[in-house]
Structure 1
Amino acid sequence: MSVIIGIKANNAIYDTQSAEELGLKGEPIYFDNSEESLAIMRHTCAHLMAEAIKTLYPEAQFFVGPVVEEGFYYDFRIHQKISEEDLVAIESKMKEIAKKGEKIIKYHLKREEAIIKFQNDDLKQAVIRKIPLGDGTLSIYSQGDFEDLCRGPHLPTLKLLNAFKLTKIAGAYLGGDEKAEMLTRIYGIAFANKESLSQYLRQLEEAKKRDHRKVGMEMELFTFDEEIGAGLPIWLPKGARLRRNLENLLTQALIERGYEPVRGPEILKSAVWKTSGHYANYGENMYFTTIDEVEYGIKPMNCVGHIKVYQSALRSYRELPLRFYEYGVVHRHEKSGVLHGLLRVREFTQDDAHIFCRPSQIASEVENIIDFTQKIMNAFGFSYEMEISTKPEKSIGSDAVWEQATEALKGALNRCGISYKIDEGGGAFYGPKIDIKITDAIGRKWQCGTVQIDMNLPERFDLTYTDENNTAQQPVMIHRAILGSFERFVAILTEHFGGEFPFFVAPTQVIIIPINEAQNAYAKELHNALLKVGVYAEIEEKSETLNKRIRNAEKQRVPIIAVLGAKEMEERKVAVRNRRTKEQSDVSFDDFIQFNKEKMREVSF
């Protein structure tokens, strides 16, 4: 049996030293590739990396080294430039230290003692200031000649670490403050065995090839321009067509499911954001402006606008559920250091919907959303999982309301036969939620859509409907986004397919290549016929060789290439190259149009 490196108790992870000093009993955590075990070993590997850096660069000073989704990192200050090439030496030193098998020892100091101990290290003083007062003591983990303030958890010895890799180097502002000093950050990854590490590194190489920023530039989908501003994507024609295809499919599905289109303004007076709780709980993520001496907030979410749609008329129980949807443009104040292509931007468009219903309708509405979600994810070949996030520390509303809403979500998933995880404290400030996490073609997990039950905003805005007894009742509000945002979903789709988009959403579905000018009129006729059935086609008529034009079409990852020569024009046929199936065929003009028309209709949500 594997070595026990910690325990899980009260939904928290403790290393063996902490469990022993606290007298905790719980579920054992073994040294394997479980989520809990990886958290412990990666935290330890961050300290191993810091020890190696300190050995190679004695003047180095360290800030924080947490475990993150992509492994671990450490932020540190050093008075010389470190490049990607230096990671090899650091990693080599890490292996050398790990082989020594240094034990990791935890001990405690009073806060005042820690301040004195690290009096010549301003980064450590900054860390101490960030630590809550608690019982007045701070924990330190020591290994060999290296030690650092840390709450853990850690392995009992470095000897267990033998499958790790440093992955990249970057700059990071101290404490995430853009006005503060820039520190050096090194990322790494660790696993319980070398086979898992090798598999991850292969996945990393594949991910580089599929990077949506690289593929998006090659396919001319989107761009960014510093003259406009960071995190503000510009959609080029092909990218806009891809989005339009997604929107069209989604819109048809929404109409069939009884959703009504609405649209709210992009700036609203700050008073409504104070009523909603966004001003106090989300204000640091918002942009504000003043008009006629009145403060306005640029919307980070669409919910308040949809509440105002609900309030535009008196509502009866006979109208419920009311389902409003909007492809709403929102803005959020993201720090420049976290911006990442389309995955993390400052302006984006949510596929947002809000459902106003009676409490008795929650279960059926959530089940319908889950069914909708499954159809969309299956259409793109995503596997997916669900996670329920519960009441966070910073929240509005009573415990009783939160409990009722959380149980409604659990009940809906149970009735749908869907297993789920619990993320304690991960809910939105106004209600619990289901997060939809998808797995792409190379095994990476992505946070995608969300379903949130909200009994707080209806109360804050005094929303009512009249029931069967002519009595005023408060509706429940369900916030729902399945894609999450078009920007993020397009980025995920691009990496999932490596740009080889399915026919029904591809930005260009057919490229028509006339062999010479004599076929140009026939090519135009085919082009127009395809557009009329909703298929986007382009004519490639550059003065280049046929083979080069075909290669150019291949590079654009277009599903269908239609070659037109004298024979095809005379017989009203099309020479078809299907890039997805790798098949070639000659078909009649009419059959080719019908084939493409059916391809556009073969998927629905």
Structure 2
Amino acid sequence: MQVLVADKAVEAQAGKTCGEALKEALSGKKFKKVVACKSGDVTLDLSHELTETDTALIPVYDDTPEGLDVIRHSAAHIMAEAVKRLFPSAKVTIGPAIENGFYYDFDFERAFTPEDLEAIEAEMRKIIAADHSFSCKVLPKAEAKELFDGMGETYKGEIMDDLGGEEFSIYSQGDFVDLCRGPHIPSTRFLKAFKLTNCAGAYWRGDENNKMLQRIYGTAFANEKDLKKYLKQIEEAKKRDHRKLGPQLDLFSFQERGGSGMAYWHPKGALLRTILEDFVSREMLRRDYDIVRTPQILKRELWEASGHYDNYRENMYFTEIDDQPYGVKPMNCVAHMLIYNSHLRSYRDLPKRYFEFGVVHRHEKSGVLHGLLRVRQFTQDDAHVICRPDQLQDEIKDVMKWIQDLMGLFDFEYTMELSTRPEKSIGSAEDWERATTALSEAMDSMGLPYEINEGDGAFYGPKIDVKLHDCLGREWQCSTIQVDFTLPERFDMVYIGEDGERHRPVMVHRAIMGSVERFIGVLTEHYAGAFPTWLAPEQARILTVTDAQHDFAVEARKFLKARGIRVEADLRNEKLGYKVREAQLEKVPYILVVGDKEVESGGVNVRLRGENLGLKTLEEAVNMVQADSLEPFKRGGMSYSFSSYSCPV
């Protein structure tokens, strides 16, 4: 038979492998980069023997996303072999490829150390140099179980029981044997660039009631250049880690004594939040939203009516008051619907746009908590637009424009996903189709590209998720727009139409920042703590050279503060270099130095982020800070003035 390989016909006799067919069709240089191939939707090992169904093969190259998955999955196996050589009593569990790397979980009596990782890496290099081939065979379940039980690998039998089926593929390289679907690189020498990055504890199957395992993370790339680039990015990310910068800049802390997953905002962090929230609130008013406030807990019967109790209760907290069960709100939509239903609405009243900085609580497992990025208590810049069906398209577009404005303000690139109906959901197929079509048509009409994310919508409706990209290219999910025909039905929301009859509105759930905590965490890492001047909790700091300038510095601070500048004065009897260094570490944008010359001239010596701008009058210093603060808004075509605490509004 003939096989079409990369658009070239190749004769495929019995027993010919995918690798042999690809080698005939590709140049030597190209073939060296091939790690696997695709036949239809199935990715195959190069050692796979062609069958009559394999009529067309597509090479999978080592520097493509699919190729990197194959390399990283194989790296996990090589790492597991190295661990078993060095620590024979360790039991292997699972070892998948993940985004940017791989991991393997081991049942071992102690935590692995950095020294262990170095030894494992050295052993991996020996395995790679030995050039062991990856080979696959399929065994009946009973025979596969007997094989692993004989090796003392008890977890594999449990995995097979959970997967079901009567046959399982077994991969081996060198002395290592593993239960695996594959595919894998042809041999260990194809792993050219790798690094073990860290260790962590991980419960078996992610269940905290199960045994704690030892997880080793690593990464692998097609070549050393890409690996070095990635590792450099990781080092930069560590410097920008908001969990480190938050305490360093005295913005926030986490207090285990008070409970996990809840941030304590210190004065500077609380001021930063206030500036950001004030800006968003004023934007909401400018965009015709009504600000509301709603309770933290609602009767459980409301969560039952909304579907949250059936579909989301594992993420909720519950309590009881006067023998009546209540739920702590994980979302604000139910409360906003009650506000809407407090009056009978006319078609002329719509749309109603309710906005709230709503504090919500979600029951996150301790293992997934991560600084401000994953918490149990957070604040959403949450809003619900209740409108007529004929208004829906314009409302979705208006929300998208607001998201575009916010992303532009912070210089974020972003991508969008349209998430469709999940298995666990409520509402009719017709309503889901109407809601999904509304979102896709709105984005299409605005010329916005997006990807489909099957089955990841909210349980009550499809959604657009906006994923912003920070300065390191990392992706963060923040903004969301959800269209909901179902909850208005469940809560009997109506309006009186032009015909005098009762009609059902549609509801748009939307958050621009999403979680305020997460957004600030992302901003902290994006700017490495050096927030733009308009957002910096301390915009300027006056530093004296000696005590002789004390009185002038105090008056200068009063002058700047009266003009709306957030300014402090460091009057300590310390060396100027020490005070400058401290202000720089605290990421204060403007450092205003006062010596005898400055006192004599009635000015300050200005430094902006380390650049010396020279002697300026106090009025000039004020103008510089204000102009710098307004620059991001001017770029976006927005016009702002200053409030009493110098927030552009």
Q: Same fold (TM over 0.5)?
A: yes
Aligned to 1:351: 381
Tell me the equivalent position of 2:21: none
The 1:461/1:142 distance shift into structure 2, 3 A limit, reads: farther
Amino acid at match of 1:170: A
Counterpart of 1:76? 106
Shift in Å at residue 125 of structure 1?
3.9
SS at match of 2:354: strand
Of 517, 539, 560 in structure 1, the residue corresponding to residue 590 of structure 2 is: 560
Matched, 1:579 2:604: no
1:410 pairs, out of 440, 459, 478, with 440
Q: CA deviation at 1:504?
A: 0.9
Shift of 1:233: 1.1
- Cα distance change, pair 148–297 in 1 and its aligned pair in 2 (3 A): farther
The amino acid of 1:456's aligned partner reads T
- Greater shift after overlay, 270-279 or 146-155? 146-155
CA shift, 1:21, in A, is: 8.1
In structure 2, C-alpha distance between the alignment counterparts of 1:169 and 1:556, rounded to whole Å: 31
Match of 1:5 among 36, 39, 45: 36
Does residue 331 of structure 2 align to residue 288 of structure 1?
no
Displacement of 1:145: 3.0
Matches within 5 A, 1:255-270: 255-270=285-300
Deviation, structure 1 residue 597: 3.2
For residue 246 of structure 1, what is the aligned residue in structure 2? 276
User: In the aligned structure 2, how far is the partner of 1:420 from the partner of 1:468?
Assistant: 36
Closer, same or farther: CA 455–101 of 1 in aligned 2, 3 Å: farther
1:309 aligns with 339
The SS at the match of 1:323 is strand
1:123 to 142, 155, 164: 155
Give the whole-Å Cα distance in 1 for the aligned partners of 2:403 and 2:49: 41
Query: What residue number does 1:37 align with?
Result: 67
Partner AA of 2:304 in structure 1: K
Does residue 422 of the first structure (1) align with residue 452 of the second (2)?
A: yes
Does residue 381 (structure 1) correspond to residue 411 (structure 2)? The answer is: yes
Q: Distance in 2 between the 1:600 and 1:79 partners?
A: 55
Structure 1: distance between partners of 2:427 and 2:272: 41
Greater shift after overlay, 59-68 or 29-38? 29-38
Q: Is the 8 A contact 2:468 2:478 kept in 1?
A: yes
The 5 Å alignment of 1:175-194 reads: 175-194=205-224
Alignment of 1:342 onto 2:372: yes
Q: Aligned in 2, Cα 1:532/1:326: closer, same or farther, shift over 3 Å?
A: farther
Tell me the secondary structure at the aligned position of residue 482 of structure 1.
strand
C-alpha distance in structure 2 between counterparts of 1:27 and 1:180, whole Å: 43
Deviation of 1:185 (Å): 0.3
Structure 1 CA distance for aligned equivalents of residues 289 and 50 of structure 2:
56
Instruction: Label 1:143 to 1:318 Cα distance change in 2 as closer, same or farther (>3 A).
Output: farther
Rounded to whole Å, the distance in 2 between the matches of 1:244 and 1:282 is 31
2:35–2:185 contact (8 Å) kept in structure 1: no
How far did 1:482 drift?
A: 2.0
Q: CA deviation at 1:329?
A: 1.2
2:625 & 2:60 partners in 1: Cα distance? 54
Task: Measure the CA separation in 2 of the matches of 1:307 and 1:13.
Answer: 49
C-alpha contact 2:319 2:325 (8 A) present in aligned 1: yes
Asked if the contact 1:7–1:25 (Cα under 8 Å) also holds between the matched residues in 2, the reply is no
Which range is displaced more, 298-307 or 396-405?
396-405
Match of 2:109, SS state, is: coil
1:390 is aligned, of 420, 439, 446, to 420
Asked if 1:592 corresponds to 2:621, the answer is: yes
CA deviations on 1:39-98 (whole Å, 9 max, x unpaired) are 332222222221221222222212222233342211111235421121122122223323
Alignment of 1:451-470 (within 5 A): 451-470=481-500
Per-residue displacement from partner, 1:325-354 (whole Å, max 9, x unpaired)?
111111111222222221121111112122
For residues 125 and 451 of structure 2, the distance between their equivalents in structure 1, rounded to whole angstroms, comes to 35
Amino acid at match of 1:590: E
* Aligned partners of 1:8 and 1:29 also within 8 Å: no
Secondary structure of the corresponding residue to residue 514 of structure 2: coil
> Is contact 1:7-1:19 (8 Å) kept?
no
Alignment-mate amino acid for residue 278 of structure 1: H
1:206 corresponds in structure 2 to 236
Question: Could you report, residue by residue, the CA deviation over 1:2-27 in whole angstroms, capped at 9, with x for unpaired residues?
Answer: 426243866x8676789978957889
Secondary structure at the aligned position of 1:98 is classed as helix
RCO higher in structure (CA 8 A, sep ≥6)? 1
- 2-structure distance, mates of 1:500, 1:579: 9
Runs of 4+ more than 6 Å apart:
12-22, 24-27
Deviation, 1:213, is 1.4
Contact 1:7 1:27 in 2 (8 A): yes
AA matched with 1:98: I
Q: Which one of 616, 630, 637 corresponds to residue 601 of structure 1? A: 630
Decide which of 192, 198, 208 is 1:168's aligned counterpart.
198
Quick one: structure 1 residues 7 and 416, their matched pair in 2 at CA, closer, same or farther if it must change by over 3 Å? Answer: farther
CA contact (8 A) 1:287 1:331 kept: yes
Q: Structure 1 residues 427 and 326 mapped into 2: Cα distance closer, same or farther (>3 Å)?
A: same
| Distance in 2 of aligned mates of 1:498 and 1:296 | 41
| Counterpart for residue 547 of structure 1 | 577
Contact 1:7 1:16 in 2 (8 A): no
Partner of residue 555, structure 2: 525
Q: Which moved more, 1:519-528 or 1:460-469?
A: 519-528
TM-score when normalising by structure 2: 0.86
Relative distance call for 1:599 and 1:309 in structure 2 (3 A) is farther
Whether the 8 Å contact between 1:453 and 1:478 is mirrored in structure 2 is yes
* Distance in structure 1 (CA, Å) of the matches to 2:319 and 2:50: 54
Q: Structure 1: which 5+ residue stretches go unaligned?
A: none
Secondary structure, counterpart of 1:484 in structure 2: strand
Equivalent pair of 2:196/2:219 in contact (CA under 8 Å):
yes
TM-score (norm 1): 0.92
CA contact (8 A) 2:35 2:186 kept: no
Report the Cα distance in structure 2 between the residues aligned to 1:307 and 1:19, rounded to whole angstroms.
Answer: 61
- CA shift for structure 1 position 533: 4.1
Change (3 A) 1:300 1:138: farther
Identity %: 47
Counterparts of 1:511 and 1:238 in 2: how far apart (Å)?
Answer: 14
Task: Give yes or no for contact 2:484–2:508 (8 Å, CA) kept in 1.
Answer: yes
Between structure 1 and structure 2, the one with the greater Rg is 2
1:489 aligns with 2:519: yes
Query: Structure 1 pair 541/88, CA: closer, same or farther in 2 (3 Å)?
Result: same
- 2:235 pairs with 1:224: no
Task: Give the conservation status (yes or no) of the 8 Å contact 2:362–2:376.
Answer: yes
Number of equivalent positions: 601
Provide Cα deviations, 1:309-328, integer angstroms capped at 9, x if missing partner: 22222222222222221111
Deviations 1:131-156 (A, max 9, x none): 3x4x5544443334323333445445
Unmatched tracts of structure 2, length 5 or more: 1-29, 639-649
Aligned residue runs from structure 1 range 421-440, under 5 A: 421-440=451-470
| 1:442 equivalent in alignment to 2:472 | yes
CA distance in 2 between partners of 1:393 and 1:465 (Å): 31
